[in-house]
Amino acid sequence: MSFQKIFLLDFDGVIVDGMDEYWHSSLLACEKYLNSPYITVDQKLYKKVPNTFKEIRPWVKYGWEMILIVHEMIKTENPINNFNKDSFINNYHQNCQILLKNNSWNPKDLQKILDESRNYQIEKDFEAWVNLHNPFIEVVEFMKSLKKRKIKSGIITTKGEIFAKQILKQLNIFPEFVFGYESGTKIKIAEKISKTYEILGFIEDRKKTLIDIKENLKTSHIACFLAEWGYIKESDRFNLNNEIKLLKLGDLKHLVAI
């Protein structure tokens, strides 16, 4: 039995640069839905993404974490900034859990208000929201080249499925499927896909995700590529074993030939 060939791709940081959207939507969520007494939102903050936010972004796994980060950056007392961000990053996951506990928040509620923030923008001005995402043209062309060669593409993302699909439609890209955060972990999704497709590779900008794919017996056969152009930590570029390849935008044309 021969399976259809497919490439799997992450979305944010791989197909599009959504840094502007992350900041804008998380800031709006804090302002409009979070109801925190510790923050004040200056409209000037919407104009430019702070470097502190950009530098913390590679540690983020789920969208709701960005609300925590933005909240800590804009709070009136002891905010995170360029001078103290390293202490937050050094214990990133523990700090996120502490913030959840101290504020009596839970991830599902934070993810919900992030989605509400996105829906609000889409209803108000869809084009403006879409334009907060800057596509990596080389990746868009790569996916179109796959289609010409009768190779499928599939998206596995921690963004909401409905939001990813809306952006892909604007880019005139129609993958075989899109799995959002609602569908479970990327490993479990990859396991499921591998039962019915021949997976030629998984392109992702989160190194830990690729390590998990390789350490899982049911997905260890999948070729893994770390997107050098994405939201990666500087240290991620080094100490890669032979099972995870650092991929540059210019290398995509060679993958098409697989």
Identify the CATH number of the domain in which residue 204 sits. Answer: 3.40.50.1000
Please indicate, yes or no, whether residues 23 and 115 belong to a single structural domain of this protein.
yes
Domain span including residue 34: 19-130
Number of domains in the chain: 2
Stretch 182-197: mean pLDDT: 96
Give the residue among 181, 207, 35 at the shortest CA–CA distance from 107.
181
DSSP line for 148-212: HTT-EEEEE-SS-HHHHHHHHHHTT---SEEE-GGG--HHHHHHHHHTTEEEEEEEES-HHHHHH
pLDDT in tens, 46-73: 899 999 999 999 999 999 999 999 999 9
Please indicate, yes or no, whether residues 139 and 252 belong to a single structural domain of this protein.
yes
pLDDT at 17: 97
Please indicate, yes or no, whether residues 13 and 28 belong to a single structural domain of this protein.
no
Considering 69, 101, 130, which residue would you say is the last residue of a domain? 130
Q: Measured between alpha carbons, how far is 12 from 234 in angstroms, rounded to an integer?
A: 18
Considering 130, 150, 178, which residue would you say is the last residue of a domain? 130
Secondary structure letter of residue 216 according to DSSP: S
Q: Tell me the pTM.
A: 0.92
Please indicate, yes or no, whether residues 152 and 237 belong to a single structural domain of this protein.
yes
Question: Which pairing describes strands 197-204 and 177-179: parallel, antiparallel, or unpaired?
Answer: unpaired
Helices (H), 18-103: 19-29, 51-56, 64-74, 85-90, 92-103
What the block records as the tokens of 195 is 């039962």
Please indicate, yes or no, whether residues 171 and 75 belong to a single structural domain of this protein.
no
Q: Measured between alpha carbons, how far is 258 from 251 in angstroms, rounded to an integer?
A: 12
Please indicate, yes or no, whether residues 9 and 51 belong to a single structural domain of this protein.
no
Please indicate, yes or no, whether residues 99 and 141 belong to a single structural domain of this protein.
no
pLDDT at 253: 87
Stretch 94-104: mean pLDDT: 96
Q: What percent of the chain has pLDDT over 70?
A: 99
Please indicate, yes or no, whether residues 71 and 172 belong to a single structural domain of this protein.
no
- Does the pLDDT at position 122 exceed 60? yes
In the three-class reduction of DSSP (H, G, I as helix; E, B as strand; rest coil), residue 97 is classed as helix
Cα distances from 172 to residues 64, 77, 144, 168, in angstroms, run 28, 45, 9, 6
- Does the pLDDT at position 93 exceed 70? yes
Please indicate, yes or no, whether residues 92 and 111 belong to a single structural domain of this protein.
yes
- Does the pLDDT at position 3 exceed 70? yes
Please indicate, yes or no, whether residues 186 and 246 belong to a single structural domain of this protein.
yes
In the three-class reduction of DSSP (H, G, I as helix; E, B as strand; rest coil), residue 15 is classed as coil
Considering 109, 130, 151, which residue would you say is the last residue of a domain? 130
Please indicate, yes or no, whether residues 12 and 46 belong to a single structural domain of this protein.
no
Please indicate, yes or no, whether residues 101 and 164 belong to a single structural domain of this protein.
no
